[in-house]
Amino acid sequence: MNKINIGLIGCGTVGAGVIKILKNQNKLFSKKFQTEFKIKKVCDKNSAIAKRMKLSKSLFTTKIDDILNDKNIDVVIELIGGTHPAKEIVLQALRSKKHVITANKAVIAKYGSELFKEALKQKKNIYFESSVGAGVPIINAITEGLAGNTFKSLYGIINGTSNFILSEMTHSLCTFADALSKAQKNGYAESNPTLDVNGMDAAHKLSILVRLAVDKIIDVKNIHVEGITQISHDDIKYAKDLGLVIKPLAIAKTANNNLELRVHPTLIDEDHPLASVNGVFNAIFLETDPMGDILLYGQGAGQLAAASGVVSDLVNLATKGENIACARMKNIAYEDRSIKLKQIDQIETKFYIRLLVTDKPGVLSKISGILGKHDISIDSVNQKKQKKTSSVPLVMLTHLAKEKKLRIALEEIAKLSLVKSKPVAIRMENL
């Protein structure tokens, strides 16, 4: 029987979930994996936790060094989140010859290269399944399950809060504010939901996935990110009329060593599997070569979902042994330097455009003339009927258009006296 001694740093909801799962699965794991997973020490700065979770005095500490300096601890589970002191803890754990498991997307996205390098030097392993999609085995699928494939593109619903809000706005026809407040009431959104709704959370996760799938190391600052706060009811409704839904997507595409990365609300066909991923569920759609299209779908948030990913990491660490650490870290740290990041200006997508225009003859000709001048051709137009107003919404779908040209065209259109409000443009993907 193997024995894995664990030091758990940060004992919030996920940490408590890990303790709970290990307690419940203890017997099964002993039999199936011939391994005893023993939590040797739990560290949290909040000493009230020990009492609340009924942890014995010898098990609990508020001092991180009690774990990092304990030679009997084989693996450190870092669950404090954020970049500092998480980074320093992970580095010190590796230098103290301990494997590391973390659910911390920020530290992996920002300091991954440094941490993987240290792990390689120390011949130790870092596992981080729960950093993206909680326990949905996305990272495992990319690095192992689909190891024989290259990844042409990746479309991820990887922020549960945004997806919950847009799903609510779509299905209950409520406002953004109402949907957010419902998300907070249900525990699906932080009291400060900024990083979720502005897309930065998804951008961090995307950078992790891109490193693994496309072998490109990305600074999140270089990802074009738009949040979901600008999405209006009207757009959701008009999209529906067109057989489309708006989803908060993180997108990566590669072609000829060019990589395009972006996080923004995106229109997709309502029949696509991603369209039916609602609520806090996460999903990732991969276009792979040679395997073709793959979808993974599951609960991307919640105490036990995240804890499940951490425990799966533990089992993999235990069953695969120490010897694979170097090969795995080399594989994960590998970078293909020939891949260049495309600027958002150069990107081509289809667009949904909504304008509020004066209801007069000649309007459409003027607008389509400006679009045409910038090489943007229109796929469909729909002028919405509106009672008692002199202005009407005009909804258009374009064919593939260059982002930069579209922006210039819309600026020109916005200046027309017959256009009554700021034009809205939402990118569309043909999946």
8 Å CB contact between 203 and 251: no
Q: Where are the alpha helices (DSSP H) in 291-353?
A: 303-320, 325-333
Q: How far is the CB of 275 from a second copy (least distance, A)?
A: 9
8 Å CB contact between 105 and 131: yes
Q: How far is the CB of 306 from a second copy (least distance, A)?
A: 10
Nearest Cα to Cα of residue 102 among 320, 314, 299, 322: 314
8 Å CB contact between 230 and 391: no
For 284-316, b/e burial (b = at least 16 CB within 10 A) is bbbbbeeeeebebbbbbbbbbbbbbbbbbbbbb
- What's the alpha-carbon Rg for the chain, to the nearest Å? 24
Instruction: Tell me the C-alpha distance between 91 and 122, whole Å.
Output: 10
Q: Rank residues 228 and 311 by Cβ distance to a second copy and give the closer one.
A: 311
Would you give the DSSP letter of residue 9?
Answer: E
Pairing of strands 244-255, 35-43: unpaired
Q: Rank residues 215 and 403 by Cβ distance to a second copy and give the closer one.
A: 215
Catalytic residue among 105, 110, 124, 205: 205
Q: Contact positions toward a second copy, by CB under 8 A?
A: 17, 21, 25, 28, 31-34, 129, 134-137, 140-141, 144-150, 215, 271, 273, 276, 288, 290-299, 302, 304-305, 307-316, 319-321, 323-324, 327-328, 330-331, 334, 336
Q: Rank residues 47 and 319 by Cβ distance to a second copy and give the closer one.
A: 319
Q: How far is the CB of 349 from a second copy (least distance, A)?
A: 24
Q: How far is the CB of 243 from a second copy (least distance, A)?
A: 14
Length of the chain as a residue count: 431
Tokens at residue 1, please?
Answer: 């029987």
Q: How far is the CB of 379 from a second copy (least distance, A)?
A: 25
Q: Rank residues 223 and 274 by Cβ distance to a second copy and give the closer one.
A: 274
Instruction: Kindly tell me the burial class for residue 378, based on how many C-beta atoms sit within 10 Å of its own C-beta (0-12, 13-18, 19 or more).
Output: middle
Active-site residue flag, 350? no
Q: Rank residues 122 and 288 by Cβ distance to a second copy and give the closer one.
A: 288
Give catalytic residue positions. 205
